[in-house]
Amino acid sequence: MRSVWRHPDAWALLTGSAAATVFLLSSCSSFDGTVAAPPHIEGATFVGNQTCADCHTNLTRIFPTSAHGRYHRDDLRMAGSTGCESCHGPGSKHVAAAGARQFIVNPGKDPAACFACHLEVHAEFDLPQRHPVLEGRMNCVECHDPHGPDILKPAGGLAMARLNESCAGCHRDQTRPFVFEHEAMREGCVSCHQPHGSINAKLLVQRDANLCLKCHAQMPQGGGVLIGKVDHSQLLRLGSCWSAGCHTAVHGSNINPKMLY
């Protein structure tokens, strides 16, 4: 389990208000194929991935490369827990009706199917700062490919090209090229932002100078504190590194290598 649950503030906030959720979450994280209730479709039964393959060959072919495909069993009893139908619901009526849409769930429109297994992600989207998924203004698929190998597409973080694929589609200001690049960007947006939701403004992982200090070590010297060879002992009292007017252009700058606008 990663992201917000590691954060001590988030724990304090959530264990206070949602202890029941946290309890359920521990049972979900030790996934054994039985915890999740797949979406319900009145009167339909499970048919297994092989049946879907008859008409959806391309998706069925790439599915084994997905994080979800790794959990797949051909055993029909497990169909609702590990296969296509764990997200789309039992398919018998959809198949009998030659692919009629009203008999299959499309979780691209409604993330409830995902939350059956990812309870902790549901809680993250309930935090005070969040991407508006529960509000229906965007969905999981805008950042995750449900069928193929690219389920964590925005998190790769190896190159700007990867980031540009997803976050950049909506956030041009932060992802365009800069004359003075901030190398932190190469490690991905998630080194500073919680992608789902956060208790901090701007979805930040940490609200204060610690956000920056995890990469920029403080070096004690002669009663002062050096960061990047500059004495910061007075400066750190003025506010966070970006709000105190010092490094306002955290994503990169076109005019100043010290990350200023």
Of residues 81-140, which lie at the interface with ligand HEC (CB under 6 A)? 81, 84-88, 91, 94-95, 98-99, 101, 104, 106-108, 111, 113-114, 116-118, 120-121, 131-133, 137-138, 140
Q: How many residues bind ligand HEC (CB under 6 A)?
A: 94
Among 163, 197, 199, 232, binds ligand HEC (CB under 6 A): 163
Question: Judging by beta carbons within 10 Å of its beta carbon (0-12, 13-18, 19+), is residue 1 exposed, middle or buried?
Answer: exposed
Comparing every residue's Cβ against ligand HEC, the nearest one is 99
Among 191, 206, 218, 233, binds ligand HEC (CB under 6 A): 191
* Residue where the block lists tokens 């769930």: 105
Q: Which stretch binds ligand HEC (CB under 6 A): 7-15, 163-171, 217-225, 231-239?
A: 163-171
Q: Quick count: other Cβ atoms within 10 Å of Cβ 261?
A: 10
143 binds ligand HEC (CB under 6 A): yes
Among 93, 162, 232, 247, binds ligand HEC (CB under 6 A): 247
Up-side HSE of residue 204: CA atoms within 13 Å toward CB? 13
d(CA 111, CA 170): 20
d(CA 81, CA 243): 47
By three-state DSSP, how is residue 122 classified?
helix
144 binds ligand HEC (CB under 6 A): yes
| Helix-helix angle 19-29:8-17, to 10 degrees | 110
Least distance to ligand HEC, CB of residue 222, Å: 20
203 binds ligand HEC (CB under 6 A): yes
Among 25, 41, 44, 52, binds ligand HEC (CB under 6 A): 52
Question: Judging by beta carbons within 10 Å of its beta carbon (0-12, 13-18, 19+), is residue 80 exposed, middle or buried?
Answer: buried
Least distance to ligand HEC, CB of residue 8, Å: 17
